[in-house]
Amino acid sequence: MKGKHTKKLIAALMGVTMGTSYVPAMAPATVSAESAGVEGTVIYSTDFEDGDVSMFANRGGDDTTVISASDEASVSGDKALLASGRTQDWNGPAFQLDNGVLKPYTEYSISFKMKGRYYTGGMVSMQYTDLDGKEHYSNLVQNISSSDWVSIDDLRVSFHDMQTKVKIYVEGGQDDIFIDDFKVVELKTPEIEKDLVSISDAFAKDFKVGTAITVGDLSSKPFMALLEKHFNRTITVGNEMKPDSVLDKEASQAYFEETGDDTTPQISFSTAKPILNYCQKNDIPVRIHTLVWHSQTPSWFFKEGFADDGEWVDKEKMLQRMENYIKAYFETLTELYPDVDFYACDVVNEAWTDSGTPREAGEPGNGNYEKSLWVEVFGDNSFIEPAFTFAREYAPKSCKLYYNDYNEYMDGKLNAIITMAKSLKEKGIIDGIGMQSHLDARQSLDAAFPSVGMYNNALDKYAELGLDIQITELDVTTPENAPTDANFDVQAKYYKGIFDAIYAHKDSISAVIWWGITDDKSWRANKYPLLFDAEYKAKESYYSIMEGVEAPPVEPDPQPEADYGDANEDGTVNLSDAILVLQAIGNPDAYGENGTDKSHITKQGAINGDVVNVGDGLTNSDALAIQEYLLKLVSELPKK
């Protein structure tokens, strides 16, 4: 096997965002691994000895936190930042990212020390505002607990320009908080292995190969480079198209108050827009995940008046809500993105227990993951058929409908899914089965679960239904916190067996989708389940599934016709075209083909703007030639 990787995961990449120019807060200095634990350039660093806390503030709104420099406690020197006057758990000191110090689409490491006045507890979190002005929150480091100073080391953050008002902050309790030795390091951008055979290209004639991503992933250049090389035939939006992200509580309650109608929940795709915009721009088909699910569906959706403390609605009203929700979901989505191929949809997700029975009635969470509010209202799984009926009515005709589940290879659940699928197939309202395929290689092939034979048997059974199969959330875990060569060898051999079984059923399988790309960003990061490590390098598992696979012939991309001179693609040649060419040359990070500015030049625009020595790329001569053309000093473009 190639490429042994034994480095232990230190911290997960988290995606945050802003859009602004780069202004260093201090003279840049190279940081060695010995001095900072990471290699890069110091962008901002303070021990607060000068009393300057201007880079920090409270979170705004009703946050009562007062930020000051204090000599009451410190790690080094005599002073530290003091956050006092906190009256709510969410109050706390925040470091504003969109302040001119950090660049979008760049990876940073943030490190600092924190201490409570009496006891150190809480968490480090992030918030941002999306394209529609809605705020979002996530926890980066949880369960901080100590009687003394706590070190937050190498917290990886990156961000993009589709979110604003981004903050990294400390919250929890109402105790005073001290912060010291705060440092931001800009990390070197790692290169992906460009000479590897593309997985999606290698299997393009057999099935789509793709992955699931979240909004934060868009900000990492190497992560997205791996996606574009290996997983570019389909994308699943990991979280942002699930019910709790799409259903809009405030809008639903406002609609109810205005109309008296509480059967029409309001929805929004504001959270998913950055990913959907990316798919639209790059012509990548999208797999919808998911409409009807017991998890990540807010309880107010099942309550009278859409109120948290309301009574449970009856079955008839819930059917009305379900229909209106599914109708609005598809109509809104296709109206916003009429040219995106929403080719598949998980209509119902995880409705059966491993033993093949419906879930228990009740609210999931707090250790009761098996419970379902759909069963709470319907009493059983009778909600499944109407969900598919409504999806068939309102989904685009090209969108295939799937039932999706995990542990789909266990006899009880497998048999329940098959019985259900046969009934739905007879009614013409289901197209396929989604096999999540969250698998576990464990410490040996003998201990792996499921065995390759068990997984292959499930593929046989689902294929016999005559329905399409999609592998929807593939990953293979290893023993927890044990990234050893031996464990990765077992993982690679197991991946090989599983992928051989998948390939043997390729005539019944239309897509194979990994649940992530790099181990460190996986939902099961401490079990290293994916094909690439935290340094964007291929693991043994990549080589195992590609063993014997020949690189597909490389066909040159057809060269699009050029509309010479029209660099900004507005249909005319004018001075703004020459200006854009100069901007793209002088500031490629902002105005180049992959630039962050909204008006950056596109690939087609760069072809149009290349009017001197065509094929050599943009130069100042191209901008000059466009101006000469406008002044009628040259008669045609390209310039001879």
> Of 186, 240, 473, 540, which is the active-site residue?
473
Which of 105, 114, 103, 108 shows the shortest CA–CA distance to 81?
Answer: 114
145, β-bridge pairs = 121
What CA–CA distance (Å, rounded) separates 53 from 113?
A: 15
Which tokens go with 38? 């990471």
Contact 207, 509 (CB under 8 A): yes
Strands, E assignment, 130-204: 135-146, 150-158, 164-171, 177-187
Sheet containing 94-96: give its strands across. 56-57, 94-96, 164-171, 120-129, 135-146
Contact 581, 626 (CB under 8 A): yes
Identity at 236, one-letter amino acid code: T
Identity at 524, one-letter amino acid code: R
What CA–CA distance (Å, rounded) separates 463 from 51?
A: 68
What CA–CA distance (Å, rounded) separates 109 from 150?
A: 17
Residue pointed to by tokens 């491993």: 354
What is the Cα 213 distance to its own chain's centre?
A: 3
Mark whether 473 is an active-site residue: yes
Contact 396, 426 (CB under 8 A): no
Mark whether 350 is an active-site residue: yes
Which tokens go with 538? 């291929």
DSSP one-letter code for 531: S
What CA–CA distance (Å, rounded) separates 589 from 600?
A: 9
Q: Which residues of 542-577 are buried (b: 16+ CB within 10 A; e: fewer)?
A: bbbbbeeeeeeeeeeeeeeebbbbbbbeeeebeeeb
Helix (H) or strand (E) holding 545: helix 540-545
What is the Cα 475 distance to its own chain's centre?
A: 16
Q: Angle CA(410)–CA(411)–CA(412) in degrees, nearest 5?
A: 100
Contact 28, 43 (CB under 8 A): yes
Which of 233, 291, 220, 301 shows the shortest CA–CA distance to 264?
Answer: 301
Q: Find all residues with CB under 8 Å of 512, minimum gap 6, and list them.
A: 203, 207, 208, 209, 210, 470, 471, 474, 502
Q: Dihedral of the CA atoms 142, 31, 48, 158 (nearest 10)?
A: -40
> Of 350, 376, 408, 540, which is the active-site residue?
350
Q: Find all residues with CB under 8 Å of 376, minimum gap 6, and list them.
A: 302, 312, 361, 362, 363
SS3 of residue 518 by DSSP: strand
Q: How far is CA 598 from CA 130, 168, 338, 625, in A?
A: 16, 25, 21, 25
SS3 of residue 620 by DSSP: helix
Residues designated as active site: 350, 473
